[in-house]
Structure 1
Amino acid sequence: METVQSEQHIHLFLKKAISSLLERPELLEELTADTQLSEIGMDSVMLVNLMVHIEQEYQVFYEDDELLEENFATIGKIGQIINDKVSSGV
């Protein structure tokens, strides 16, 4: 059950961060785990900013080989990677 709660927390954190970066508060309610971030206006600069927020919030770090577009395509994918990193302590 802890994994589900942390996954919900991660998704809420990501929704807040993305809607803030895009300056579109309505996205907080509209974003789903499967929303393609490129389709709502997230560009590479915003993704880097999002990554910094993630690293600060969860004390996880991305390796160069993880900085792939598909790893930042959706909230679900980003959340899965964060959860994996937090679980493994990386």
Structure 2
Amino acid sequence: METIQTEQQIQSFLKDRICELLERPGLSEELTIDTQLSEVGMDSVMLVNLMVHIEQHYQIFYEDDELLAENFATIQIITDKIQEKLGLGD
């Protein structure tokens, strides 16, 4: 089974989870990789839930010093961090 995740697959996963957490399925149409998640209603509790989804799905772990709002500001920032943790970074 192919386990390497493309950037697009990661972004799709994140978009799905964010829409789920916000209970706004239609949001995926307007959500871009650069949308500020705080502007669409993601609060700190939802971000923690998103982080748990990410950790479980990708089997990675966020260190305490990484748990900053700016590390979860946009889908692109989160994607870059996931890729870095998976060893897929540039």
TM-score by length of 1: 0.90
Within 5 Å, give how 1:8-19 maps onto structure 2: 8-19=8-19
Deviation at 1:27, TM superposition (A): 1.3
* Percent of pairs with identical residues: 70
* Residue matched to 1:82: 82
Gaps of 5+ in 1: none
Deviant stretches of 4+, over 6 Å: none
Deviation at 1:30, TM superposition (A): 1.4
Higher helix share: 1
Deviation at 1:29, TM superposition (A): 1.7
Q: Distance in 2 between matches of 1:59 and 1:49?
A: 15
Q: Distance in 2 between matches of 1:7 and 1:27?
A: 20
Gaps of 5+ in 2: none
* Residue matched to 2:22: 22
Aligned length: 84
The code of the aligned residue for 2:52 comes to V
TM-score by length of 2: 0.90
Give the number of the structure with larger relative contact order, counting CA–CA contacts within 8 Å between residues 6 or more apart. 1
